[in-house]
Amino acid sequence: MEPTVTSWVDVMVSGQGQVYPYVGTEIWWLILAIVIWLGWHVITGISETEEHEEVCNRAPGPNDHKNNITNW
Amino acid sequence: MDNELSALVTIFTEFYYWITVVLMFLIHVGFCMYEVGVSRYKNHQHTLMKNTMLIPLVTITWFFFGWWIYWAFINGPGLGTSIISGESGMNLVADGWGANELGNPTGPAMAINMGDHISGVFWAAFLLFSWTAASIVSGAVIERIRISAFGVLAIAIGSVFWTIDASWGWHFDGWMVKVLGYHDAYASGVIHAVCGGFALGVLVVLGPRIGKFVNGIPQNIGPRNPWLVTLGLFLIYTGFWGFYAACNIPIFDAGADSGAGVTYFTAANIYASPTTLSGVTMNFLMSLAGGLLAGYVVAKGDPFWTYSSGLAGIICASAGNDLYHPLQSMVIAMVGVVIMYKLHYWVERRFKIDDAVGAVAVHGYAGVVGLLICGFVLWGYPSSTYEGYAAITPWGMLAGAIIMFGVLGFLPGYVIALILNSAGQLRIPREVEIAGQDYLAMEAAKKDEDTVASAEQ
């Protein structure tokens, strides 16, 4: 596939606007981005639930976290 | 651009908005510091991540559909008629000003385009407003909301509902400006009231933190780190400068644009009406001063509320800060601060609402009061330089306040929170809230520390 820009002189003379690669494929990039976005919600929702279940199973007290304060 | 003067105006405008974006980034830094400072040690990391992750979520959805909504919904649809296209439906193609022309994520305006130096920075300036919108809600719900739930709410307020209200009332062709004479130059309503209302709607469903109310009596929780809160609020003040700058058009021929038949270069507000950055700067500082003065008195010197009152003072005066006298800005800010402070504690006691950072008060109540006061002080002023627009009135601004706080703020926040709650996805389990959201992360860090210490011995 040929680059969108092969000569900056041509861009300036012709008044060409879009200079990014693969002009015309924007819709496919959009679909990919939306899939990534929705997938992110699903993945983080599941992992958050798993984290909560682990804490619930152990049910630490309100002051137990103080034993885990680091002194790095 | 084929001559130096037009190139200078265009590139100055491009750079102007670019700088405002950088300045407004400080708002988010401030909100992160502020929220972490208010939260308890066992929730710090999750609190920080909740606020941080709204940045990418709102950014990508603002790219997908938020910016498109801003340009598409100016007529309601069906509530006004566009002066650009003459249509009353969706504003999709309108002589270069339609949603499909400016906000289509696959369109030429939404990328590097050698023929367009403005769309991208203007998109970015509005995006930073959107982050602020979501961040306002973020503070109110700390220490008990699921991050995944907040992500959904952040997108709803940041890329949908505030965008609709901006399209209606913060656009030179918005129906609320034309029909109601709505005037809100620096967003008392379109950012602050709507987000305060949205936060309140979420809080009603979410409920208070465990221990906030003991036998029905509200208890003070924190702030754990007042210095972080202080720095955070100073940064928000600083970023607010950028916000004010971003609400203006820096160089604009208002005479030619309005059809007045004269050349009248000026700075203009979001409605393309003339103002001066010089005067607005005075008003910003005087309303900050008024808010701080009033806050110090009503809060009896409490630093948290004094700083917040400085912010609330600016927010209250913002609707008319493009036109007020600086002394009017100061007094209006003071009135807003007293009302929002009293209202915060009344609502807390009466309805058991746990607004952890006072976001509903500082943004919501102060914003609403600012809109109402603006309706009286600017009564009779034209809302635009264009012919046929309604003048500013108290009842137009009251209707605007109801739309912002109630219709586009409280209602969607309440309904979405209700849906998330009914699916068990809104609030963290009681055990996690008691243990602390960072319990596992802290435990892992402690183990690492012990392991490293053993190896060192």
Closest residue in chain B to residue A51, using alpha carbons only: B440
Out of A16, A34, A64, name the one closest to residue B114 (CB): A16
Using one digit for the tens of pLDDT, what is the confidence trace for B96-139? 999 999 999 999 999 999 999 999 999 999 999 999 999 999 99
CA distance A46 to A42: 6
Digit-by-digit pLDDT tens for chain A (72 residues) are: 789 999 999 999 999 999 999 999 999 999 999 999 999 999 999 999 999 999 999 999 999 999 999 988
Q: Is residue B330 part of a domain?
A: yes
Of B258-262, B309-313, B421-425, the least confident: B258-262
pLDDT of residue A28: 98
pLDDT of residue B341: 98
Q: Which residues contact A47 (CB under 8 A, 6 or more apart)?
A: none
Q: Is residue B270 part of a domain?
A: no
Residues of A in contact with B431 (CB under 8 A): 55-56, 59-60
| Residue of B149, B192, B152, B148 lying closest to B170 (CA atoms) | B192
Instruction: Give the domain range for residue B414.
Output: 14-248+287-426
Q: How confident is the model at residue B260 (pLDDT cuts 50, 70, 90)?
A: confident
Pairing verdict, β B265-268 and B274-275: antiparallel
Does B7 touch chain A if contact means CB atoms closer than 8 Å?
A: no
Q: How confident is the model at residue B457 (pLDDT cuts 50, 70, 90)?
A: confident
User: Distance between the two ends of chain B, CA-based, in angstroms?
Assistant: 69
Does B152 touch chain A if contact means CB atoms closer than 8 Å?
A: yes
Kindly state the average pLDDT of the residues B334-342: 98
Q: Is residue B2 part of a domain?
A: no
Q: Is the predicted pLDDT of residue B277 greater than 80, yes or no? A: yes
Residues 12-41 of A with CB under 8 A from B: 15-20, 26-27, 30, 33-34, 37, 41
Kindly state the average pLDDT of the residues B434-443: 96
Tell me the pLDDT of chain B averaged across its residues: 96
pLDDT of residue B370: 98
pLDDT of residue B144: 97
Q: Is residue B171 part of a domain?
A: yes
Q: How confident is the model at residue B2 (pLDDT cuts 50, 70, 90)?
A: confident
Q: Is residue B402 part of a domain?
A: yes
Q: Is the predicted pLDDT of residue B178 greater than 80, yes or no? A: yes
pLDDT of residue B222: 77
pLDDT of residue A55: 97
Residues of A in contact with B428 (CB under 8 A): 52
ipTM: 0.95
The rounded percent of chain B whose pLDDT value lies above 70 is 100
Q: Is the predicted pLDDT of residue B386 greater than 90, yes or no? A: yes
Q: Is the predicted pLDDT of residue B258 greater than 90, yes or no? A: no
Residues of A in contact with B55 (CB under 8 A): none
CA distance A30 to B281: 41
φ, ψ at B266 (rounded to 5°) = -160, 170
Residues of A in contact with B152 (CB under 8 A): 41
Q: What CATH number does residue B412 fall under?
A: 1.10.3430.10
Name the 3-class secondary structure at A60: coil
CB spacing of A65 vs B439 below 8 angstroms: yes
Does A48 touch chain B if contact means CB atoms closer than 8 Å?
A: yes
Q: Is the predicted pLDDT of residue B257 greater than 90, yes or no? A: no
Q: Is residue B42 part of a domain?
A: yes
Kindly state the average pLDDT of the residues B32-38: 96
pLDDT of residue A72: 81
Kindly state the average pLDDT of the residues B6-12: 93
Q: Is residue B281 part of a domain?
A: no
The number of folded domains in chain B is 1
Q: Is the predicted pLDDT of residue B20 greater than 90, yes or no? A: yes
Residues 79-138 of B with CB under 8 A from A: 105-108, 111-116
CB spacing of A60 vs B435 below 8 angstroms: yes
Kindly state the average pLDDT of the residues B12-31: 96
CB spacing of A33 vs B147 below 8 angstroms: no
pLDDT of residue B378: 98
CA distance B442 to A69: 7
Q: Is residue B7 part of a domain?
A: no
Using one digit for the tens of pLDDT, what is the confidence trace for B399-415? 999 999 999 999 999 99
pLDDT of residue B246: 96
CB spacing of B443 vs A30 below 8 angstroms: no
| Residue of B221, B250, B201, B231 lying closest to B18 (CA atoms) | B250
